[in-house]
Each structure stands twice: as C-alpha cells, then as structure tokens.
Amino acid sequence: MDPDSANTTLLNLLLSTESLSTNINVVLALLIIVLLVFTALIAGSEVAFFSLSARDINYIKQKEDSSYNSVLKLLENPKRLLATLLIGNNLLSIGVIISTNMLFKSLFDIESIAPSIPPGLITFINIFLQVVLVTFFLVLFGEVLPKVYATQNNLKLSVFTAPFILLLDKLFSPLSNFLVNSTSFIEGRFSSKAKKDISNEDMENAIELTVGHSASKQEVNIFKGILKFGEITVKQIMRTRMDVFGLEQSWTYEQMKKQVMDTGFSRLPVYEESLDQVKGVLYTKDLLSHIDNDNFDWHTLIRPSYFVHESKLIEDLLKEFQHKRIHMAIVVDEFGGTSGIVTLEDIMEEIIGEIKDEFDDDELLAKKIDENNYIFEGKTLINDVCRIVAIPVERFENVRGESDSLAGMVLEIAGKFPKENEVISFENYDFTVIQLNNRRLLKIKMTINPAEENMED
C-alpha cells in the first residue's frame, strides 16, 4: 500500500472518530437539557398540585377542559400522585447525573491534557466537576427555581403539566401502588396513633378561604366561634365576683325586692354573709304572683344552685345546662370559694357574638373610637376584647399569665401598678390607663398600631 494512501486513510479515520465523539457530546448535552427540563416540570408540579387551595379546586371543577379534568383525576389519589412524582423525579435526576458524568469525561480528560498533575489532584478535580458542579446545577435548575415559580403560579403550572403527569401515573402505576401500599402498611404498624393537630390559625385561614368570599363577616365570626368553642373554659367567659349582684339571705322582703328592681336580672344568687356561701338562686319570675304581698316569705322561692369549677369547658357545661334545664351556674375556684357566675347567654355569646337586651348598660360595652382605638372597661374579659377587636386570643397567651380580664393582663405586662394616663405597650398594641379607682383599673384605652403590625407581617 502506498504510504501516502495509508496516511490519508488514518487521517480520515481520526477525523471520523473525532466527528463521532463531537456528535455524541452534542447528543449528551441535548439529553441533559431535556432531562433537566422534565426534572424541573416534575419538581414544580409537586409544589403546584399540593398547594392548590379549596378555591382553586372549585374553579377547576367549573372548567370542562381535559387538562382541568386531569388535575382533578390526579388529586383523587394524592398519595399515588406523590409517589409518581417522586419516582419520576428520582429517575430523571439519575439520568442527569449519568449523562453529565459521561459528558465531562469526554470533554475534560485531565490526564491526557496535563499528565504532570498529581493523581490525587486529578481525583479531586473529577469529584468537583462530576459531583459538586452537577449537584449545584441539578438543585438550582431542577429543584429551587421550578418550586419558587410553582408557589406563585400553582394553578397555571398544575393545569399545564397535568396531561404529562397523568401519563407518568399510568406508566409508573405498578411501582406507585407498591410504594403507597408499603408506606400504608408501615404507617399502620409503627406510626403513632396520636394525630397531628391542626392549629386554630390554620383552621381560621381555611374558613376564610372556603366561606369568606360568600358569607358575611358576622357569619365568618360564627364559624370561628364554633371552632374555638371546645377549648374555652368557664373562667374565660364568667362574670367575675366583683360584678355579681346577689341577695343577702337575711334581707327582708322589701330589701330583696328593691335589689331585684335595681339590678333587673332574671336570676340572682342568694348568699349568707358573703358570696362564698351561696345558698341558692332566686328566679324573679317566681315573685310575680306575690308582688303585692308585703308579708310574703321570699325564702320559700329559693331554688337549689348549681356549682361548676372554673376550669370546666363550656362545651361540657352547655350540655349540662341542656340536660338539667337551667340557665345559670355558680363558678367556684380550687378552694371552694365563689369566683363568679356563668349563664347560658355567656356561652352563646362565644359563638354568635354579643347579645344585648333591654337591661344591658351601654357603658359596660366597649366603645369604638375608630378602626385602631377602643375604650374598654378594665374588667372586660380578654376573650371579649379579642373578639371585639377581631384578633386571635392566642396573641396575648404569653403575657396574660393567670389573668382573664384586660386590667389583669395590663398589670402583668407592666409588672407594677400603673399611673393614670400611663401607656403600657406590648408588640403593636398600646394600653393607656384612663381611669383608676382605689388601685383598680376601671377604663383602658387600647390602640392598635397598624404600621408596626404590617412590619411584623
């Protein structure tokens, strides 16, 4: 064979090999891009599907497009959907890693480029290129960016990817079902029986999302009242001892009748010497048939009183009121002393809000100056303050201590007895003492600073 011809054949062979290698590198690069795109779609879909709100799902149900129907079909079995997404994401990530390593080995043959480099350094460079760099791009373009986008466009992305995810769901159905069944078995055998509680704040947000757009503000507040109903104790809603009007057992008929007419209440506790010794309850309606009999012994009308502990849940008390057909109970503390009284009206107000009748004194209610300023009686219960101002009761949980009234909480925050017009601040709330009487906080102005509240949010 002619030497020139042999050289030409060898050169052509080298060129064809180099061209083939270049084509393989191009194919690998394109494959990596395609795999990254699909990885990003699946990672974003995971966030998009599982962040759809009730309002979004209701919107999807109103559409007749096949893509919207695919979203609903996938959400029928969320565990299987999650398994499909995880399987697809892992397979694609493995494909990206293998393809990238093959491309880097082809492009960066460090041993042939720089044979003088020590083997240990070559190993480090290979690890950096094939592990650290690949992981960085995979996490950035295959996880972080698509998930950030999905949080802001969850409905749009879920509808866009639904046909593709539905195809994967059918393709991986045997493996997905196996994973779901396996995890269900493990959960049944080893998981704790105690269920994770959903916080009140999450439930209130759910109420706002589901009924907030169609119900009035009062109806939404009723839903929230029902939500918190099972956690409220008698102590939180009772009328405190200082505000209880009673009848001294030793009083004459005239004295008793005057007190009944002055107070206007339908039921009054009857006590001996002090409220710690309640002997019964007088129903004023029982006096109607004896109103003109000045010599009548009113003690014969005293009915037995019903006592409850201040830590009793109002949910249980309501059932007892219904069963015993009574409307009032005497609240006692751990030492057996009288803490106050609680009525059926107090319980119902926790659900439907303030109930005002012809005997209620306007001065005892909160006075709203504007959207951010209120004046409360110091004895107003913290639960009532939060309900009126429309803030969560938990907001003051860490500073209220054992106090149930606004005045008690202000004293807890101040750590001392404040002076008149002194301002006590907590977070974005200012409490100004505007009226004192014998070391008792009678009226307190509550100011909400919206600017600071927005900064916190």
- Average pLDDT of the segment spanning 119-126: 65
Give yes or no: residues 252 and 153 share one domain: no
Would you say residue 245 has pLDDT above 50?
A: yes
Q: 250 and 278: one domain?
A: yes
Contacts of 6 (CB under 8 A, 6+ apart): none
pLDDT tens for 187-244 read 666 554 444 455 556 666 666 666 555 566 666 666 666 666 777 888 888 888 877 8
Whether residue 341 lies inside any domain: the answer is yes
Residues 283 and 391 in one domain: no
For residues 155 and 57, membership in a common domain is answered with yes
DSSP per-residue codes, 230-281: TT-BHHHHSEEGGG---EETT--HHHHHHHHHHH--SEEEEEESEEEEEEEE
Query: Domain end: 157, 190, 223, which one?
Result: 190
Mean pLDDT of 17-46: 79
- pLDDT for 420: 82
Query: What is the average per-residue pLDDT within 401-425?
Result: 82
Contact between 150 and 48 under an 8 Å Cβ cutoff? The reply is yes
Kindly state whether residues 34 and 181 are assigned to the same domain: yes
- In this prediction the pTM is 0.43
Confidence band of 62 (pLDDT split at 50, 70, 90): confident
Residue 344 and residue 255 in one domain? yes
Residue 384 belongs to what domain range? 362-456
In a domain, 218, yes or no: no
Comparison of pLDDT for 27 and 270, the residue scoring more: 270
For residues 126 and 29, membership in a common domain is answered with yes
Residue 202 in domain? no
H helical segments located in 353-457: 382-389, 406-414, 450-456
Is a pLDDT exceeding 50 seen at residue 4? yes
Mean pLDDT for the chain overall: 77
Q: Is the pLDDT of residue 411 over 80?
A: yes
Q: What is the pLDDT of residue 383?
A: 80
* Residue with the larger pLDDT of the pair 16 and 142: 142
Q: Is 273 left (phi over 0), alpha (psi -120 to 50) or beta?
A: left
What does the pLDDT read at residue 210? Answer: 60
The pLDDT assigned to 107 comes to 67
Same domain, 257 and 388: no
Question: 20 with 129, same domain?
Answer: yes
Domain boundary among 135, 159, 190: 190
Query: Does residue 158 sit within a domain?
Result: yes
Q: Mean pLDDT, to the nearest integer, of 18-44? A: 79
Cα–Cα dist 130/280, whole Å: 85
User: Residue 396 sits in a domain of what CATH number?
Assistant: 3.30.465.10
The number of domains in the chain is: 3
Kindly report, residue by residue over 356-382, the tens digit of the pLDDT.
655 555 445 577 787 788 888 888 888
Amino acid at 65: D
Q: Under DSSP, is residue 52 helix (H, G, I), strand (E, B) or coil?
A: coil
Q: Indicate whether 298 and 437 sit together in one domain.
A: no
